[in-house]
Structure 1
Amino acid sequence: MAVVQIPGSKSVTARALFLAAAADGVTTLLRPLRSDDTEGFAEGLVRLGYRVGRTPDAWQVDGRPQGPAVTEADVYCRDGATTARFLPTLAAAGHGTYRFDASPQMRRRPLLPLTRALRDLGVDLRHEEAEGHHPLTVVAAGVEGGEVTLDAGQSSQYLTALLLLGPLTRAGLRIAVTDLVSAPYVEITLAMMREFGVEVRRDGNVFDVPPGGYRATTYAIEPDASTAGYFFAAAALTGGEVTVPGLGTGALQGDLGFVDVLRRMGAEVTVGADATTVRGTGRLNGLTVAMRDISDTMPTLAAIAPFASGPVRIEDVANTRVKECDRLEACAQNLRRLGATVETGPDWIEIRPGGAADGLVGAEITSYGDHRIVMSFAVTGLRTPGISFDDPGCVRKTFPGFHEEFGALRARL
């Protein structure tokens, strides 16, 4: 059995940094993820005037409920979607002029539903070039609050940003959501807000967030469930066994639900109180599965789908087309390059027919600068010799040491 230590969750680390910056007092974050995305978020906070003390095992943040300590700042969000969406929202609660820009990849990703909602709340927010995209400038004068309607059908991060803002407004927020994707990520947000002293009331798709701010705390970051999925998939594909400590029945992250997909395909799965184990059984069944709520794991399933005994059809994942790249097409094109038969539609991908996958041929995988494409097809490489990557280093976005850790697992499996 291989025991794999997975770095902290990117999603949890980003939310924790926002909450720590907004809280009254000094917050200590234990075992945060150290990657390009989270370092970029922390650097953004520093640019806004927050103190962030970093050691290898913990970060300390001096919170400022009144908003950024500086009245002018220019923040570069790198490739980080959470940085690019959360930090302008945090800055809106302060007083000053704050400009945000991002990488070309992040500039292409949509932002308009969130910026429309912020404008509806009275925030002076201006897109400098393409409407609904970075770069943008926030001329902040605090946020009164009130009622707002939001379409979160492209990304749950829009809703999370507004939820996190709510306690910093003068009157609180009532958010009516017309559409929502990746709902488990919202549950992460609500649970973490609770740990920082805020209870959000929910009635269906209406969220009531009280004013009053956050309290500082000490918060431990759990391992990243999306990243764990590559290692669980490796076990299912090879007939090996992988245990990930720190992810169990109390885990916040919905992406741990990927192990249920692996179970349906034939793997044996044990979810304990503080660890999860996946053991491959030598078979992978085909299936049809809707992955709207765990869409970040779609490429992982696509990457092992050619080895199933029947077709694998993944549905309700339209939002994966507006991630770091169009992940549906990226998976399809790379799988075809390896020799698999693939079809796609607006919100689905089907890989078929199963059974002859060991006849796949090695090829260079086009990453499109997307860390999840590289990590997913690394799993394919366990059964297909000759796979390489045009940009293996893009994994630094969430897991700088991925190739070393996965190579060690390959040796053990």
Structure 2
Amino acid sequence: MPAVDIPGSKSITARALFLAAAADGVTTLVRPLRSDDTEGFAEGLVRLGYRVGRAPEAWQVDGRPQGPAVPEAEVYCRDGATTARFLPTLAATGRGTYRFDASPQMRRRPLLPLTRALRDLGVDLRHEGADGHHPLTVVAKGVEGGEVVLDAGQSSQYLTALLLLGPLTRKGLRIRVTDLVSVPYVEITIAMMREFGVEVGREGDVFVVPPGGYRATTYAIEPDASTASYFFAAAAVTPGAEVTVPGLGTGALQGDLGFVDVLRRMGAEVSVGAEGTTVRGTGELRGLTVNMRDISDTMPTLAAIAPFADGPVRIEDVANTRVKECDRLEACAENLRRLGVEVGTGPDWIEIRPGAVPAGAEIKSYGDHRIVMSFAVTGLRVPGIAFDDPGCVRKTFPGFHEAFAELGEGLGGRR
């Protein structure tokens, strides 16, 4: 099977855009993800007065360590959680009045632990409607810094936003974290800050971020590991199939590459090398119980292939998936039941019990790209699967259906 070209990481592209905007100098981002989320982030920077040049293979950003170039702006964050959480934080470093709003889907998603921490740091931040939700206005006058307490049990993005802010404050930040989910995403942030000249310290549950700003650089965006999970899963459910993703190997930043370890436990052959990762389907897919707290974006991928396992698949410690683009835990359960699969759920777990061969049905997407992409993998083995909103994949991978159809044709003789 030829190598699969996966678009750049959404998480890394968003962080790189923030870092580039905050850095002293011009930063070049190589092979950034071009999708609705990342274009929305770049457009938000432009509305704040940053110069962002977007060529096909590289984006250039003129950094402004002093914050936004305009004294007032209206920014629409679309569906993007990183845009909606990171840009108000960046705007606080400047001087001016900046209003942020988002799609109805994003308006429902929580912000309160982050906005509460920003207020504790002296940021004048006002929610127009429900506290802790968009729309909101930041009346910025720079951020002094100091100590702050944060609960990041719902989303690691709250902590990432404050870590990214730290070097732009006058005194630096000491962030005491009371709870934290999706730790690998925080490790991505810290590794990327290092590439832009900032070293984050850690003392137990306290993250220490020095002042002094960022320096511009040239930064290559690695392929998206969450997106790669659908292609790896496709190999795992197809005996004799092999999928290789170049650019995601032993040095990869993204914790979601750990999904291949789950596939290995289930019986797939997995090879992770310096240049990339290969998964090969063996015809065996074992049931298992797995904690996915740290790789919860790949929970729907596992749920979607669980009906083909030889025993129950139980996924635990994924309460945070209930506050993503949709309640992903219930969305997976609902769609599996539509296919005739027996499913049980609890506050932070889902158990899929394979039995009768799944039957085709329309998958309810809930406007969530990951639900559609996950159940596309199920569709490799179950004819008659359709989607009520196939286009929502534009959030992270506009060309997904074409790429996956091509993969399916390549695997056709092995199913």
Indicate yes or no: 2:162 matched with 1:177.
Answer: no
Find the counterpart in structure 2 of residue 376 from structure 1.
374
**SS of 2:8 mapped into structure 1:** coil
Corresponding residue for 1:137?
A: 137
TM-score, normalized by length of structure 2? 0.98
| Structure 2 CA distance for aligned equivalents of residues 61 and 280 of structure 1 | 42
Shift of 1:3: 1.1
1:389 to 387, 390, 394: 387
Aligned counterpart, 2:27: 27
> CA–CA distance in 1 between the matches of 2:190 and 2:117?
19
**Alignment check: 8 A CA contact 1:233 1:262 kept:** yes
Alignment of 1:215-234 (within 5 A): 215-234=215-234
In 2, Cα distance between the equivalents of 1:121 and 1:317? 30
- Between 181-190 and 203-212, report the one with greater CA deviation: 203-212
Task: Tell me the SS of whatever aligns to 1:228.
Answer: helix
Unaligned runs of 5+ in 1: none
Q: Which amino acid aligns with 2:337?
A: R
May I ask how many residue pairs the two structures share in their alignment?
Answer: 410
Letter of the 2:402 counterpart: E
Structural mapping, 1:270-281, within 5 Å: 270-281=271-282
Aligned equivalents of 2:27 and 2:3: distance in 1?
A: 31
Equivalent-residue separation in structure 1 for 2:406 and 2:166 (angstroms): 44
CA contact (8 A) 1:2 1:409 kept: no
Q: Distance in 2 between matches of 1:408 and 1:2?
A: 11
3-state SS of paired residue (2:244): strand
1:340 and 2:341 aligned: yes
Question: Residue in 2 aligned with 1:120?
Answer: 120
Distance in 2 between residues matched to 1:204 and 1:286, nearest whole Å: 36
Alignment correspondent of 1:196 = 196
- Please report how far the alpha carbon of residue 204 of structure 1 lies from its aligned counterpart in structure 2 after TM superposition: 2.1
3-state secondary structure, aligned to 1:98: strand
CA distance in 2, matches of 1:191, 1:5: 24
One-letter amino acid matched to 2:271? T
TM-score by length of 1: 0.99
What is the identity, as a one-letter code, of the residue corresponding to 2:93?
A: A
CA distance in 2, matches of 1:164, 1:231: 32
> Using the alignment, how far apart are the partners of 1:309 and 1:222 within structure 2?
34
Contact residue 317 and residue 347 of structure 1 kept, 8 A = yes
Counterpart of 2:283 in structure 1 is 282
Instruction: Provide the rounded CA distance (Å) in 1 between the counterparts of 2:118 and 2:42.
Output: 23
Equivalent position SS for 1:382 = coil
Name the CA distance, whole Å, in 1 between partners of 2:170 and 2:30: 31
Q: Deviations over 1:226-258 (max 9, x none)?
A: 000000000000121000000000000000000
Counterpart CA distance in 2 for 1:62 and 1:263 is: 43
SS class of match (1:2) = coil
Aligned CA RMSD, in angstroms, stands at 0.5
Match of 1:325 in 2: 326
CA separation in 2, counterparts of 1:197 and 1:238? 44
Which residue of structure 2 aligns with residue 293 of structure 1? 294
**AA paired with 1:244?**
V
Following the alignment from structure 2 to structure 1, what is the Cα–Cα distance between the partners of residues 154 and 290? 19
Distance 1:91 1:258 in 2: 35
- CA displacement at 1:348 relative to structure 2: 0.1
Q: How far off its partner does 1:274 sit?
A: 1.5
CA deviation digits over 1:158-191, x for unaligned, max 9?
0000000000000000000000000000000000
Indicate the SS of the match to 2:176.
strand
Structure 1 residue runs of 4 or more that deviate by more than 2 Å after TM superposition:
none
- Consecutive unaligned residues in structure 2, runs of 5 or more: none
> Secondary structure at 1:27's aligned position in 2?
strand
**In 1, Cα distance between the equivalents of 2:219 and 2:173?**
25
Identity level (%): 87
Mapped partners of 2:46, 2:310: distance in 1 = 51
Partner of 2:392, secondary structure, is: helix
1:290-328 deviation per Cα after TM superposition (whole angstroms, max 9, x unaligned): 000000000000000011000000000000000000000
Q: Secondary structure at the match of 2:260?
A: helix
1:404 has 2:405 as partner: no
The residue type equivalent to 1:311 in the other structure is P
Rounded Cα–Cα distance in structure 2 between residues aligned with 1:370 and 1:151: 25
Q: Tell whether 2:57 aligns with 1:57.
A: yes
* 1:78-89 aligned within 5 A: 78-89=78-89
SS class of match (1:3) = coil
